Chains A and B, each alone.
Chain A
């Protein structure tokens, strides 16, 4: 059973900060709850006060501003993201990644910000946000700060968030023009699963040259962007050689573990296979 919990639902950020200050580490933020409730039931999460942020209007933004980019508020559900035709067209890598998270019921509740705050190495939205070079807007009683997503994750289930801090929204900048993005994910079943390995790629042209960005889930303690692999495309060589170099570098930079979901060996193979497949598509499409 769930432990006995206290619950509050502030209506403004100010009220939220007050509650967080009062309960400190005993408080935990509840948005979709799809990760949190499981951790509470399993007694992994010890929090005893849930702060429901769904009534805070300011956190509910899903907006696109030309030039500035896409703003995804803390309570925006995965379902709302999937329903956005604009996101599907302009940020296909993000849309594809979100589409692979959980089932329909879960998507109706789970939030994108929750997905990154949970900071699982397997977070599907994270590699997409990494290649899109998103920023995380963090607020607290003291003020606000904005952090690039690749500085946000610090370890398994760990982020840079300090006590009293809350992610208000994620800002995804305008992607390079005519870019192409994809998220390839290996699961254990055909329908829904956590990523055994996930690879997000963004390809675009700089002049006539193909440039790529690559980021991964489930291959390291945190979601991981591998710039050294991307650099293969700034060097000499045929396209095939560049792809193989990127595959090699990526497979050297990841550090997958063996667990009940898959062995390190298998994951390493998937990193190579999926990276190669993704890059070949980039070459063809971009």
Chain B
């Protein structure tokens, strides 16, 4: 192959590094106004009154909105959110009012003058407390919320969704086990910390249509939810998305777009811009949910897993409109990449008075794999088996069934190969080494898997247009959020139509009026699904090209071939015609014209995916499973708790690396994010639920200097036959399972099990000194 499989530079690199790539924050519209939000100081309270009179007196203030102005709810899967808090506030940071002014300084000044009276209510600040039968309710009216049929909220509780999976006979499985091990695991809420905080501009037009310019991952989801919630037909809503400065899932759902649209209406139809500060990004933008897990594993002496009882509770925070799907995804994948014959799994999405959670790269898997991969290590130690051998013995291989009873397809990826690869590269099998009186080096391993968390009907599409000079425009609905999909898609077009990548432009913005549909840019689904749609669109264009060429060259279509921007008669390269001469119809010397503009179209949906059985969770949720494994070598300073990561090895079965350079970039980027989340990232709260570290001074994320010096990557390519050129997605996978590998290494170094994240140096020091 000429283009697919080649490590070419990303096609948007030049625009991005030179700074002329357009982002939502760059946009200024004539007559534009600026919004500033007033945030709730209470985690849980009734709003008694809001006095905006003083704020309205400030010169330059155009309008002020409160929850009562917009008495309807929005949400992706569950309609549980008002546009602005109405009647009640549910987390510290929830927007209570919005000032719209001629400039931002005025809006900021006016916000300070709004007076709100609250009646505080007891907050729920721990996911386990939220499940107690006498817990205060975060959503008293849960039973009234419209929701997608795939979800199961329990009115009268804080449970936004309950997902259950049952397989085999669990009592029997535990009876046949020699050893039963049970442990609890925890991780806090974290932020996506995109380089570009949320920005959106909305304009409500007098004819009732809406225009949005936004830093969002999924323009079509926004259009659909907005239309559904406000009762506006979809052709009257336009969503424009330029380049997005990082999303990581935080921009996947519908966030502040309805607010700016409605503020515009209230402000006399002028466009309104809302741009979050970094502090607001922490306080009021959605976060990744917190997680509590409890796993009971039954195993035979010779290391065969017989049964697992799994309980996951996701701390969804104040709203779970997107969040319900995270608990569901974690539920159907709950075993990790292992064969478990007898299983009972329950995965709850639970409302609390923490900031509201949404999608986050890895979508439930980063969370539960922490629990599963720690538990695997603990169980292996209990039965005295090498943890790599234990994992291999229970690896989920083609032909075995997953938690939902899906028989793993023949051409599925191979987790055993990934585990073996990282074990070899890290030099598995050597004991920890003491290198000084306080420092010890050790190794740890963890495996992983994930399938796209999406409904069975998630769709993708592509349009390819041939220009008059033979260059090509590719239009797709997947947004470019840094992941590089568009470069890989350009390579696929190049391969299919035999046109150099430089002559292919992927339209660098998404506009719901022009761009073909894509369900969402999430779930590591877009190379696979858009990839298939692009192949179909290219082949559609090819058919059209050959139809005309066949007439011009007076040769049947099946005797023609497209190569090097020309159509040739096979075996007769002297008889050819340039693609450009067919782009808008072929013109004969006398002016006669045949054919017309070439526009290829393609779509893709997964085949034979199903909804899951509400009682047992059985069914076919997965388009593809991607497998991988991580290994680390650490150096632990037992006196300070400081852990250094000397080396990471990552192996993924990607099916086919369409662009090996981008695969490598994703793997290192993901690995560093994983490390950062595992070691440091954490929403710290005071006793009232107020975030204590809403800034990058005290919310630590990995920086360039924190990337481990040694980073080795193993790309395994067992092709999936229905993937584009055999490819599977890897974008989210790259950031799974580094934290359990580190904690497993700490366990080998010290014998101490740490089951709560993050692994800050202080937390490690505490764990090592417990009992002293």
Where the two chains meet, the residues of A that have a C-beta atom closer than 8 Å to any C-beta of B are: 1, 4, 103, 186, 188-194, 196, 260-263, 266, 269-270, 273
Contact = CB atoms under 8 A, between A and B. Distances in A.
Interface residues of B, number: 25
B104 A193 contact: no
B761 A188 contact: yes
Contact of A190 (B104, B697, B706): B706
Contacts of B760: 188
B762 interface: yes
10 contacts: A188-B680, A189-B680, A189-B703, A191-B702, A193-B700, A260-B684, A260-B692, A260-B693, A260-B698, A270-B640
Interface of B: 104-105, 108, 639-640, 642, 644, 679-680, 684, 692-693, 697-698, 700, 702-706, 760-762, 765-766
B762 A266 contact: yes
B700 A4 contact: no
A193 B697 CA distance: 8
Contacts of B642: 186
- Report which residue of A190, A261, A262 has the largest number of chain B beta carbons within 10 angstroms of its beta carbon: A190
A42 to B, nearest CB: 9
Given A1-B104, A270-B640, A273-B640, A192 B705 contact: yes
Given A1-B105, A260-B693, A262-B762, A189 B700 contact: yes
Nearest to A267: B762
Contacts of A193: 700
B765 A266 contact: yes
Contacts of B705: 103, 190-192
B579 to A, nearest CB: 48
B700 A188 contact: yes
Nearest to B691: A260
A4 B640 contact: no
Contact of A192 (B680, B698, B703): B703
Contacts of A269: 639-640, 765
A196 B706 CA distance: 17
Contacts of B693: 260
Nearest to B705: A191
A4 B103 CA distance: 13
Contacts of A263: 762
B745 to A, nearest CB: 16
Nearest to A263: B762
Contacts of B761: 186, 188
Contacts of A196: 762
Contacts of A103: 703, 705
B766 to A, nearest CB: 8
A196 B644 CA distance: 17
A186 B760 CA distance: 12
A81 to B, nearest CB: 20
Contact of A4 (B105, B679, B698): B105
A134 to B, nearest CB: 27
Contacts of B697: 194
A191 B644 CA distance: 11
A174 B620 CA distance: 76
A261 B682 CA distance: 12
Contacts of A260: 684, 692-693, 698
Contacts of B762: 188, 196, 262-263, 266
Contacts of B692: 260
B698 A189 contact: no
A189 B640 contact: no
B391 to A, nearest CB: 29
B359 to A, nearest CB: 26
Nearest to B762: A266
A101 to B, nearest CB: 13
A196 B705 CA distance: 18
Nearest to B693: A260
A261 B644 CA distance: 19
A189 B105 contact: no
A266 B704 CA distance: 27
A28 B219 CA distance: 46
Nearest to B644: A190
